[in-house]
Structure 1
Amino acid sequence: MSDELSILGLAGKVALVTGGGAGIGRATAELYARAGMKVAVAEIDPARVASVREALGEGHLVVQADVRKADDVAKVMQALQDRFGRLDVVVNNVGDYLGYKTAFEQSTEAEWDALYGINLLHMFHVCKAAIPLMRAGGAGGSIINVSTVEAFRGIPMTVVYSAFKAAITGFTQSLAVELGQYGIRVNAIAPETTNSAQIVATPRVPAENRDYISRWFPIGRFGEGSDSAGAALFLASDTLSGWVSGCTIPVDGGALAAGAWMRLPNDAGWTHLPIIESDGYTPRPHAK
């Protein structure tokens, strides 16, 4: 355990991170291990299972599982209970828009079902299975749901994805009220666009337009997995967040606070209107 993390009071606590083989989940699992926690990871991809198992090393647990399926979740919980005998922190990290980008009227029920499974249903399965084990420990605990800033603003072409992410807010708040009597806190984090296995954000912006990134976000960059992992560490620690429950923390470089406002080139001021000389993704050198 890193000396600077010992103050968090997390040494020896047991955490489950779903989708912990890459991106935000992987960064969270590794940071929790640095804080002295015993980490269990549920990951669907065999290659990522092997990779995170090697990265975490002895003393931790990695299970190949699809947490959209109740039977797989039960398998994870049994393995966790057999190995550690308790559960203190749950990070519901799994989520994806599955590449579905289309007008709502062209979307299909099959797509809705798939988006429901990967963005909301798995949280129901994991939380329902985890709560009895957390309560049995008698020491409270923390459930952390990973949402997105798209739960708090409109986004075209991924309407159903956004709807399920918005539902996480209500689920988080209501479950926090329900479980508070047992000392279990429930919160969420809402990342903006973050470099991860699903989205490689920074490199996809053409090199000649990279200066736009520093103006899109008040903090001047896309997110990294470590940004959300830090928020998840804060929410795991009773020392730091013991009276925080039912909240969502945007991890977005100030994007929600800024709304449409962004800096103009050459520090010429601010605008809330589109900068159309380039959208940052498709070079338009002659547009004005």
Structure 2
Amino acid sequence: MSGDLLRVTGKVALITGGAAGIGRATAELFLEAGMQVIVVDNHPDRTGEARKALGKAMVIEADVRRPEDIARVFDAVRDRFGRLDVLVNNVGDYLRIFARFEDSTEEDWEALYDINLRHMFRVTKAAIPLMKASGEGGSIINLSTVEAIRGIPRASVYSAFKTAITGFTKSLSVELGYHGIRVNQIAPETTDSIQVTADTRVPEANRAHIRSWFPMGRFGRGEDSAGAALYLASERLSGWVTGIMLVVDGGVIAAGAWMRMQDGESFTHLPIIAADGYTDLSD
């Protein structure tokens, strides 16, 4: 890979939730492309491991849900680099809160707001002045999910905040375009990671069905979204791209309800098996 071709060599990128999953894959790819990378994560064990594995990356243990932690992170970035070119707002979680909306609580709503949207407002607000200061523009990349496009039962509040990221991304892209700052969104389908175990969660007897669930025949990998992030970070590749949602889903949204049959050729929009061995149907 040529960092010069991508025009990201020497660029400074901050990735929240960057010690594992999509964030970690993005940090690794950005480093490979020649960027200077700051990884922010609130898990001590993950940050410790990332500090050893990522070499030149600056790894900061911080919780982006806390304003004082965000201030500490940006003080460190300003002191060490004096600029910021790319922000990847990767943090997000459903917090294993699955409930009928009528049974959800305001405490659930607040927790989901903090981890999926409010921190994004705070981190982005702190990043913008540093991006503007260089006079060279920048790229803000917001991670959401395909659940921002389609419905997901028993996770209505989670979906609402992920959908809100779309409005935030589009509106901010218009606001910041004059300054050369591009704002885009990545919406992944289920991605195998520490946070969401996908492949191994499916019992062996049902794993043959994975090829039927996705047109591309598999769950997502961290590197799938990392590649999308590198595209959006590169002025050479996406310098006139702003305000978009880049869906990384193996063709799921395009397929709608259609799934491939086991013969590999036929398709159906009806359930193939009564239980997928993946979803908890206990209640």
1:42-82: per-residue Cα shift (whole Å, max 9, x none)? Answer: 11011111111111213x31111111111111110010010
Residue 80 (structure 1) aligned with residue 58 (structure 2):
no
2:147: which partner in 1? 150
Equivalent residue letter for 1:38? Q
2:269: which partner in 1? 272
Runs of 4+ more than 4 Å apart: none
Equivalent residue letter for 1:138? G
* Aligned counterpart in structure 1 of residue 50 of structure 2, from 49, 52, 65: 52
Q: Structure 1 residue 4: deviation in Å?
A: 3.4
* Aligned counterpart in structure 1 of residue 214 of structure 2, from 206, 214, 217: 217
Equivalent residue letter for 1:200? T
1:143-201: per-residue Cα shift (whole Å, max 9, x none)? Answer: 00000000000000111000000000000000000000000000010000001111110
Q: Is the 8 A contact 1:206 1:280 kept in 2?
A: yes
Which structure 1 segments of 5+ residues have no match? Answer: 283-288
Residue 180 (structure 1) aligned with residue 177 (structure 2):
yes
Alpha-carbon distance in structure 1 between the residues aligned to 2:142 and 2:215:
25
Alpha-carbon distance in structure 1 between the residues aligned to 2:53 and 2:170:
34
Identity %: 64
* Aligned counterpart in structure 2 of residue 122 of structure 1, from 119, 128, 133: 119
Alpha-carbon distance in structure 1 between the residues aligned to 2:260 and 2:174:
40
1:189: which partner in 2? 186
Q: Structure 1 residue 279: deviation in Å?
A: 2.1
SS in 1 for 2:263: helix
Alpha-carbon distance in structure 1 between the residues aligned to 2:105 and 2:275:
33
Which structure 2 segments of 5+ residues have no match? Answer: none
Residue 67 (structure 1) aligned with residue 64 (structure 2):
yes
2:4: which partner in 1? 6
Deviates more, 1:263-272 or 1:25-34: 263-272
CA RMSD of aligned residues (A): 1.3
1:286: which partner in 2? none
Which structure 2 residues correspond to residues 191-210 of structure 1 after superposition, within 5 A? 191-210=188-207
Alpha-carbon distance in structure 1 between the residues aligned to 2:256 and 2:262:
18
Alpha-carbon distance in structure 1 between the residues aligned to 2:277 and 2:239:
41
Equivalent residue letter for 1:15? A
Q: Is the 8 A contact 1:209 1:278 kept in 2?
A: no
Q: Structure 1 residue 21: deviation in Å?
A: 0.8
Counting matched residue pairs gives 280
Which structure 2 residues correspond to residues 99-114 of structure 1 after superposition, within 5 A? 99-114=96-111
1:220-246: per-residue Cα shift (whole Å, max 9, x none)? Answer: 000000000000000000000001100
Q: Structure 1 residue 210: deviation in Å?
A: 0.8
1:285: which partner in 2? none
Q: Is the 8 A contact 1:69 1:125 kept in 2?
A: no
Equivalent residue letter for 1:50? G
Q: Is the 8 A contact 1:10 1:36 kept in 2?
A: yes
